[in-house]
Amino acid sequence: MNTYKTLRLMKKSQRDRRHLLRGTVAAAGAALLGGCDRLSRNESFVEVLKSAEHLNAAVHKIVAPRPAMAQEFERKDIVQTFRSNGTLMPRDADYRALGMGGFADYRLAVRGLVGKPAEYSLAQLRALPSRTQITRHDCVEGWSCIGQWKGVQLGLLLEQAQPLPDARFVVFRCFDSMDEPATGTDSRYYESIDFDDAYHPQTILAYELNDQALPISNGAPLRCRVERQLGYKHAKYVRAIELVASLADIRGGKGGYWEDEGYEWYAGI
Amino acid sequence: MAIEQSAPPAQRIYRHRLPVRLMHWVNVISITILLMSGLNIFNAHPALYWGHDSHFASPWLSINARDTPAGPVGVTQFAGREWQTTGVLGLSAVDGQTSARGFPSWTTVPGPQWLSMARHWHFFFAWVFVINGVAYLLYSLFSRHLARDLLPTGSELRGIVTSIKNHLLFRHPTGGAAKRYNVLQNLAYLTVIFVLLPLVAVAGLAMSPRLDAVYTGWVDLLGGRQSARSLHFIAAAGLLLFTLIHLFEVIVAGVWNEIRSMVTGWYTVPADKPAKGL
């Protein structure tokens, strides 16, 4: 074969290859983006992705077992007003009425699978032994804020309530409706944790933030602190604690308002 | 005839063994998805800080939308300086709708802003990435891939100036020299394997509030959780930079030969140039 013809053919084939390559890269990019979006709407595929949550929870419980403590900070580390997120002011009528009265009529109910259901006023909660801790709040969005919390250990309330053998989860029922309360459907915030976290010494029901009564935007009169999990687990505006055997029958069945929206129940990462 | 001296027959060598090829492509997939789902997660709070917590008034990097009398604009702020980046950063179109978001939808998985889904992608492929990475490290140690191929020899290290010059002039090694990684390649791969990849993983783990409790205060070694988030982002940016240079080098060094060698293992050694060519 003539050398020049060979060279020309080589050039043409190189050109074809370049076109092919460029086309392949563009197609692969589009397929990746479109494919990932389609897969995100495929239930069985998302179930595969979500298997990582169980692996995370299992591994974390081994490397950071029940007694492992979240880091605590010093007064000097509190440098700004604690950020509020989610509900800043519940629109629900029952909450507003309690707030107008300075939460004097507020009662925390402890109920469900317990031997001794109980109700506590704020004054009664404040009279119980308290724990004060300066901790870092990590939001699922990525930001962190440091604040000092004072409250009663959840474990103490559970001991008084005497959980029944079937009880496996502690559910926090909250005042704040996430949708317009007038729509009639129950969209009140709720959360749940297991007994590992419920009896952890740093898991408290806080009524004070930075030496002041808990502000409304941070969950007054009472909010949960679960220091080794992300912010959405720390239920604000808590009105009742309910012990249950399973989360399946509550609302969306996933154990929390954001969990029903697709977030992980285990929010330790 | 134009060619006086025909080129010597091309020499083919078996360059990449199957485990390396396999782990390379698993890494390509997992790092691509980690990067893109990571940008979607970043978009949930498109600002970075140093320290334990977020000093909201003074991020070192933020990518936001801002309202102006002329309408919303995308603003990227870095170390106190600001740029308008409408269309790409801060404000960009998603399915034809202009919306406020840090990185644009064509860089994120999933495309729309969807934090919970991005987290599912991220954590699943984080496990793929870590298991693959540990397998690679063990394989590299025990198969002597690390000692034989990745660690530069003393004389190679001394030739670093020549190697830098060759790279800048796009002169690629031929013949016997092309059978081995060159010294800059060695150093780039070692930096990625022993600095960037471990850093991105450790800084990622440091953001987990539960893992922070493994040993009180270990996150302070990285400067605190928000510093860890920044380092995670910077290491990811470093990996992206490496990937871009890597792809560029693959293209200039002979794209089909390079891709074939990472798929089938067989690499055609570029022949030494004859003294008088065409």
Residue A11: per-residue pLDDT: 63
Q: Please check whether residue B222 lies inside any domain of the structure.
A: yes
Rounded Cα distance between A214 and A212, Å, is 6
Mean pLDDT across the stretch A141-166?
98
Distance to chain B for A263, nearest Cα, Å: 5
pLDDT at B277: 43
Is B75 part of any domain? Answer: no
Is there a domain that residue A72 lies in?
A: yes
Q: What is the number of structural domains in chain A?
A: 2
pLDDT digits (tens, 9 = 90+) for A196-226: 999 999 999 999 999 999 999 999 999 999 9
Q: Contact B114/B44 with Cβ under 8 angstroms?
A: no
Determine, yes or no, domain membership for A187. Answer: yes
User: Do A49 and A79 belong to one domain?
Assistant: no
Please answer yes or no on whether B225 and A46 come within 8 Å at the CB atom.
Answer: no
Residue B216 inside a domain? The answer is yes
Q: What is the ipTM of this complex?
A: 0.90
CA pair distance B82, B252, nearest whole angstrom: 36
pLDDT of chain B, 278 residues: tens digit per residue: 444 555 566 789 999 999 999 999 999 999 999 999 999 999 999 999 999 999 999 999 999 999 999 999 999 999 999 999 999 999 999 888 999 999 999 999 999 999 999 999 999 999 999 999 999 999 999 999 888 899 998 988 998 998 889 888 888 888 888 888 889 999 999 999 999 999 999 999 999 999 999 999 999 999 999 999 999 999 999 999 999 999 999 998 899 999 999 999 999 998 876 554 44
State percent of chain B over pLDDT 90: 76
In a domain, A228, yes or no: yes
Residues A123 and A80 in one domain: yes
pLDDT digits (tens, 9 = 90+) for B7-41: 566 789 999 999 999 999 999 999 999 999 999 99
For residue B127, give the chain A residue with the closest CA: A52
- Residues A155, A207 within the same domain: yes
Q: Are residues A72 and A130 in the same domain?
A: yes
Same domain assignment for residues A107 and A19: no
Considering the domain architecture, whether residues A23 and A123 belong to the same structural domain is answered as no
Comparing alpha-carbon positions, the chain A residue that sits nearest to B110 is: A37
The verdict on A44 and A83 lying in the same domain is no
Closest-CA distance of chain B to residue A248, Å: 20
What's the confidence (pLDDT) of residue A4? 55
Residues A130 and A103 in one domain: yes
Q: Is there a contact between B132 and B40 (Cβ–Cβ < 8 Å)? A: no
- Domain shared by A16 and A87, yes or no: no
- Mean pLDDT, all residues of chain A: 93
Which residue of chain B is at minimal alpha-carbon distance from A264? B116
Phi–psi pair at A185, nearest 5 degrees? -80, 145
* Nearest by CB: A136 against B2, B53, B106: B53
**How many structural domains does chain B have?**
1
Contact in structure between A136 and B229 (CB atoms under 8 Å): no
Angle at B95 between CA B93 and CA B99, to 5 degrees: 35
Give the distance from residue B104's alpha carbon to the nearest chain A alpha carbon, in angstroms: 12
The answer to whether position B94 is within a domain reads no
A268 is a domain residue: no
Q: Please check whether residue B91 lies inside any domain of the structure.
A: no
* Domain harbouring A237, CATH code: 3.90.420.10
Could you tell me the CATH number of the domain that includes residue B197? 1.20.950.20
Q: Which domain holds residue B208?
A: 11-46+112-269
Mean pLDDT of A50-64: 96
Chain centre distance of CA B126: 15
pLDDT at A25: 76
Q: What is the DSSP string of A42-102?
A: -HHHHHHHHHHHHHHHHHHHHHS-TTPPPP---GGG--SPPP--S-SS---HHHHHHHHTT
Q: What is the pTM of this model?
A: 0.91
Q: Do B53 and A145 touch (CB under 8 A)?
A: yes
Residue B63 within any structural domain of the chain? no
Whether A267 is in a domain gets the answer no
Which tokens in the block code for residue B150?
Answer: 């990745």
Specify the pLDDT at position A185.
87
CA dist A19 and A29 (Å) reads: 15
What was the pLDDT predicted at B278? 44
Provide the CA B159 distance to its chain's centre, in angstroms.
Answer: 26
Let me know: does A232 contact A86? Beta carbons within 8 Å. Answer: yes
What was the pLDDT predicted at B215?
95
Say whether both A101 and A186 belong to one domain. Answer: yes
Same domain, residue pair A51 and A76: no
Q: Which residue segment(s) compose the domain that A229 sits in?
A: 67-260
Residues 235-264 of B with CB under 8 A from A: 255-256
Examine residue B210 and state whether it is found in any structural domain, yes or no. Answer: yes
pLDDT at A190 over 70: yes
Residue A91 placed within a domain: yes
Its sign, for the CA torsion A123, A125, A130, A136, is negative
> How does pLDDT run across A252-268, given as a tens digit for each residue?
999 999 999 999 999 99
Q: CA-CA distance, A190 to A258, in Å (whole number)?
A: 9
pLDDT at residue B7, rounded to an integer: 57
H or E element that contains A157 = helix A154-161
